[in-house]
Amino acid sequence: MFRSSTRIMASLLAFGVALVVSGCSDNREPVSEMTSNSEAGSGMETPVAFDATNPFFVEWNTPFGIPPFGEIRNEHYRPAFLAGIDQQRADIDAIRNNPEPATFSNTLEVLEQAGPLLERVNRVFSNLTGTDTNEYLQQLDVEMSPLLTRETDEIYLDPVIFNRVNAVYEQRESLDLDEHQARLLELTHREFLRRGAALDEDSKNRMKDINARISELNTIFAQNLLKETNSFELVIEDEADLSGLPQSLIGSARVKAKSKDLPDAWIFGLDRATYEAFMTFADDRDLRRKMFDGYRARGGQGSSNDNREILAETARLRAERAELLGYANHADYQLETRMAKTPETAENFLLEVWKPGLAKAQQEVAEMQLIVEEEGNDFVLEGWDWWYYAEKLRQKKYAIDEDELKPYFELTHVRDGAFYVANRLFGVRFEPLTDVPVWNPVVQPFAVYGPDDEFLGVFMTDYYARESKRDGAWMSSYRHTSNIQGNDVRPIITNNLNLGLPAQGEPTLLNFTQVETLFHEFGHALHGLLTTARYPRFAGTSGSPRDYTEFPSQFMEHYAAQPEVLAVYARHAETGAVIPPELVDKVQAAAKHNQGFKTTEFIAASLLDLNWHRLSVKEAAAVEDSVQFETDVLEAYGLPDEIGPRYRSTYFSHIFAGGYSAGYYVYLWSEILDADGFTAFKETGNIFDPVLAQRLKENIYAAGGLRDADVLYRQFRGQDPSIEPLLDIRGLN
Ligand SMILES: [Zn+2]
């Protein structure tokens, strides 16, 4: 159920600042929430570095204003960043020096649109460093991340700007603001306070240093991880060693080996899709162990890419920043504006699911050990055996194997299935685009229209893995939405997966977890595309609490397994035959399989995250060995040896490179909402119930962060969510 390593573009506005972060999906606008691509505001005043041959400095006359990817070269970024910073400073100066008293429009709205050039270059840059990076971009990223963080801090810690925002805030009752305006004011004001606008000068200066350093550390962490992942290769030269592996995986490994001039070998890397498939199917126990050890060693091997000290310093600085702001620790700070409100609430919730999850996992171990013995082996099940025997158990209990299933999940069919669901629920349709710029030949672009043929935005899919791309799955955007003073700007949304490129002429076949991931990211995409919020700060996935943002995405996952949806998209890649009902029944029955393991490894990672971020400054400084800290934490909760945390600290990029610090728990928390919300549809007897779908669209997918998350949920559901559906769906009741 949970996404693998997924990623999110971080918010420079939210703490945990990095240009691009790891974590699931969605887009927490870098720098950009306060900027917009508005052509408004005289726009391109870039005297310093103006250069008409630099595509960032000229208007994009491309279809839908899609970035002219083919024209953008490495050397265009730096001058555009620098000019963009200048422009943003000028925009902020204009607010600061405005002789008029502060008003909503001359302060809040101008702030919201400041620095359009920076917004534009940063969007392209942050996205491409995630999907098509190179050494030049990586170096520039390390350089720019702290610089941009400082620029953002200069705004939020500027006393004059804050006084103006505050002056408007003080008069809010008498200003006759509509709901969107009032929300923008509330969120902006809160953000200033949470970023330290009310601190004294010394604390502000320390704050700026901390933020810049954290930003740099986040970038380094992510880059180290990419290098560590790419540096591992399991090269197989003897065909016998491939025993058990599915043809599609073997094909991808061959493609990879050819690209490395080893045409007679097969190469398996550590991207999550390859890793999981290898661990699930490879008969050779020693080779499984090699992959397992390689995966878990990443970031802690003493190489130049070691992340241990990077993450420890990050934890120390976050603790210090929290204390500066008057919080006991970083988790307290982070959770204040989330649905859970406190780390204790989040932890108690996790432990409530942890106990039945652990009990289930112990039962699973016993069942798998039995198979080991039935096979005549006398070893005790270890971590590198789990996937392999879980698959055997699945075949035994449900008589279903992945190779039988996969031909029914061909990539374009699955994608069209997701489109079908969006159409049935929300009346949305997707028109393929040709002849528009793309950043990579595998990208497929679509124009998206609503039920009245209104243009909603552009949707671009990038589903394949490559070495220049980070691992995981995520949603992001090249342009955010805004509708300030009628400048109706619609978004350019992307979905990224990391599927293995099939051998030439072969279809791309997905396993069911990958199908769910595609639906998941598509749910984030709909959250971005359907938005009707006027201001970027809370449009789409922005401005919603992190433990709510996964609700619209996880909600879509439920549809992937519904018989009436499967009947539409699950067609055999060769014969075109619809998936037989008995196979659907098996898929549904098998859905609860291995949930003990999945629940436990997920919660272990969540608890590890909370514990890293509940440290006081003193406690964080006392951590000498981050691996030992991790071991101690997990032992204290009683994590069994055979199950590791889903991410170990040294490659836990959600929390050390991304915006999910003290927030990995959010996937499970959001599952309360998506399980409960989907149950509402089930109860009507129609998973596309039009009345409910309309409420879902209005209050969830279109509303963005317009109201508090618990309010939005009640408006959709008519009542508060219950935890029971979650436990039922996971088979933990
Ligand atoms: Zn997600």
Distance (angstroms) between ligand 1 centre and the Cα of 549 equals 7
Decide if 483 contacts 534 (C-beta within 8 A).
yes
Residue 19 has pLDDT above 80, yes or no: no
Distance (angstroms) between ligand 1 centre and the Cα of 522 equals 9
Distance (angstroms) between ligand 1 centre and the Cα of 668 equals 11
Strand 492-499 relative to strand 21-22, pairing: unpaired
DSSP letter for 578, please.
Answer: B
pLDDT at 581: 87
Decide if 368 contacts 604 (C-beta within 8 A).
no
Residue 506 has pLDDT above 50, yes or no: yes
Distance (angstroms) between ligand 1 centre and the Cα of 6 equals 7
Distance (angstroms) between ligand 1 centre and the Cα of 474 equals 7
Considering only CA atoms, which of 216, 211, 218, 162 is closest in space to residue 191? 162
Distance (angstroms) between ligand 1 centre and the Cα of 645 equals 19
Averaged pLDDT, 615-626: 96
pLDDT at 27: 30
Q: How many CB atoms lie within 10 A of CB 43?
A: 14
- Beta bridge partners, 494, equal 460, 476
pLDDT in tens, 301-358: 999 999 999 999 999 999 999 999 999 999 999 999 999 999 999 999 999 999 999 9
d(CA 592, CA 678): 17
d(CA 421, CA 556): 8
Q: What percent of the chain has pLDDT over 90?
A: 83
Distance (angstroms) between ligand 1 centre and the Cα of 641 equals 28
Distance (angstroms) between ligand 1 centre and the Cα of 663 equals 12
Decide if 668 contacts 551 (C-beta within 8 A).
no
Q: Is 445 helix (H, G, I), strand (E, B) or coil?
A: strand
| Amino acid at site 75 | E
pLDDT in tens, 121-152: 999 999 999 999 999 999 999 999 999 999 99
pLDDT at 23: 37
Distance (angstroms) between ligand 1 centre and the Cα of 247 equals 29
Decide if 657 contacts 471 (C-beta within 8 A).
no
d(CA 413, CA 508): 10
Q: If pLDDT is split at 50, 70 and 90, which confidence band does 732 have?
A: confident
Q: Is 393 exposed, middle or buried (0-12, 13-18, 19+ CB in 10 A)?
A: middle
- Beta bridge partners, 496, equal 462, 474
Averaged pLDDT, 377-394: 95
d(CA 386, CA 365): 8
Considering only CA atoms, which of 128, 110, 147 is closest in space to residue 35? 110
Confidence (pTM): 0.88
Distance (angstroms) between ligand 1 centre and the Cα of 107 equals 33
Distance (angstroms) between ligand 1 centre and the Cα of 353 equals 20
Decide if 89 contacts 101 (C-beta within 8 A).
no
Distance (angstroms) between ligand 1 centre and the Cα of 546 equals 10
**Phi, psi at 513, each rounded to 5°:** -65, -40
Apex CA 174: angle with CA 173 and CA 179, to 5°?
60
Averaged pLDDT, 269-281: 92
Reading the block at residue 296, the tokens are 């878990």
pLDDT at 502: 86
Distance (angstroms) between ligand 1 centre and the Cα of 383 equals 26
pLDDT at 173: 96
Q: How many CB atoms lie within 10 A of CB 630?
A: 23
pLDDT at 272: 85
Distance (angstroms) between ligand 1 centre and the Cα of 186 equals 26
Reading the block at residue 121, the tokens are 């270059």
pLDDT in tens, 49-90: 568 899 999 999 999 999 999 999 999 999 999 999 999 999
Distance (angstroms) between ligand 1 centre and the Cα of 430 equals 21
Distance (angstroms) between ligand 1 centre and the Cα of 26 equals 6
**Strand positions, DSSP E, 301-359:** none
DSSP letter for 501, please.
Answer: P
d(CA 166, CA 181): 15
Decide if 215 contacts 149 (C-beta within 8 A).
yes
Higher pLDDT pick, 94 / 24: 94
Active site residues per annotation: 521
d(CA 149, CA 139): 16
The owner of tokens 């608890």 is 607
Considering only CA atoms, which of 210, 242, 237, 218 is closest in space to residue 319? 210
Residue 15 has pLDDT above 90, yes or no: no
pLDDT at 382: 95
Residue-by-residue DSSP string for 14-25: SSS--SSEESSS
Residue 36 has pLDDT above 90, yes or no: no
CA-CA distances (angstroms) from residue 153 to 206, 268, 387, 599? 11, 43, 46, 38
Residue 552 has pLDDT above 90, yes or no: yes
Distance (angstroms) between ligand 1 centre and the Cα of 679 equals 20
Whole-angstrom Cα Rg for the chain: 25
Reading the block at residue 397, the tokens are 């209990």
How far is it between the farthest Cα atoms of the chain? Answer: 85
d(CA 414, CA 420): 10
pLDDT at 591: 80
Reading the block at residue 283, the tokens are 């008969």
Residue 39 has pLDDT above 50, yes or no: no
How crowded is the C-beta side of 80, counted as CA atoms within 13 Å? Answer: 24
DSSP letter for 496, please.
Answer: E
Decide if 360 contacts 731 (C-beta within 8 A).
yes
**Strand positions, DSSP E, 291-384:** none
Higher pLDDT pick, 588 / 256: 256
pLDDT at 49: 53
* C-alpha dihedral sign at 9, 13, 17, 23: negative
* Torsion angle of C-alpha atoms 675, 10, 664, 732, degrees rounded to 10: 20
Residue 1 has pLDDT above 60, yes or no: no
DSSP letter for 107, please.
Answer: I
pLDDT at 391: 92
pLDDT in tens, 445-486: 999 999 999 999 999 999 999 989 998 899 999 998 999 988
Averaged pLDDT, 415-435: 98
Instruction: Calculate helix-pair angle for 595-612, 666-684, nearest 10 degrees.
Output: 140
Residues in the chain: 733
